Amino acid sequence: MDDLNSRHQTEFHLKSTFWLSVTAATLILPFAFYHLTHQHVGIGIGAVITSLSLYLVAWSCHKKTYKTIYTFVWLTPFTTLFVAYLTNLLGITGTYWCYSTLILYYFMMSERQAWISNIIFALVNIPLVWHLFETHEAIRFTVTFSLVSAYSAIFLHIIAIQYSELQKMAITDKLTDVYNRTLLKDSLEQAIHQANRTNTAFTLIIMDVDHFKKINDELAGC
């Protein structure tokens, strides 16, 4: 059951990461082209790299080869430094990208990786904000950044718990608390697919419970 839950959670994560990556990458492109043609080429290049990276993430999700560790290792340091660069160059406007970056972390990585990325991002950008801006602006940024971080972490944690509970309800019989036909069908399809892919055989064992009708008649209404 743990393997099946993990697989379904992975499918859910792939879908959410795919659409989030496509949406973010598409929205970033106009920003990138604007800066490439009008103002700062460095910002434009960084935005293009970010957009292309997100499209690659979406493609890997589509092919079901996405690994959160790649996003963690590549996007965390890149986005942290790029947003710091934006903040240093654009001022308070550059800090606006901090919030969308946090959301990407929490929906594209595992919960633990997102927390680590969040801490790394904060350790770099919060001191920079305090160095560049007035105290009242730095306080506002620190408070809002902390709130978005906390809300994102809590929201993602709640989603993970609720999804796990819903998945358990979908594959478990409420009366007997044993796996139901949905799990059997899903497991068989997975076993057949794996057997065909690896050119190996698998065994299906069928068991029968004697006098089950009596049990069903006595307990079905409970």
What pLDDT is stored for residue 124 in this prediction?
A: 95
Which residue, among 128, 17, 130, 131, has the nearest Cα to 65 in the 3D structure?
A: 17
Question: 196 is written with which tokens?
Answer: 């065909």
Q: Is 205 helix (H, G, I), strand (E, B) or coil?
A: coil
The residues, any chain, with a CB within 8 Å of residue 122's CB and separated by 6 or more, are 145, 149
What pLDDT is stored for residue 222 in this prediction?
A: 53
Q: Is the dihedral of CA 97, 103, 107, 111 positive or negative?
A: positive
Give the helix ranges, DSSP H, for the chain: 2-37, 41-62, 68-90, 96-108, 111-132, 135-171, 181-198, 212-219
What pLDDT is stored for residue 11 in this prediction?
A: 74
What pLDDT is stored for residue 220 in this prediction?
A: 63
The residues, any chain, with a CB within 8 Å of residue 191's CB and separated by 6 or more, are 202
pLDDT string in tens for the chain (222-residue length): 444 444 445 777 788 889 999 999 999 999 889 888 887 888 999 999 999 999 999 999 888 888 888 889 999 999 999 999 999 998 988 999 999 899 889 888 888 899 999 999 999 999 999 999 999 999 999 999 999 999 988 988 888 787 777 777 777 777 677 777 777 777 787 788 788 888 888 787 877 777 777 777 777 655
pTM of the complete model: 0.73
d(CA 76, CA 89): 20
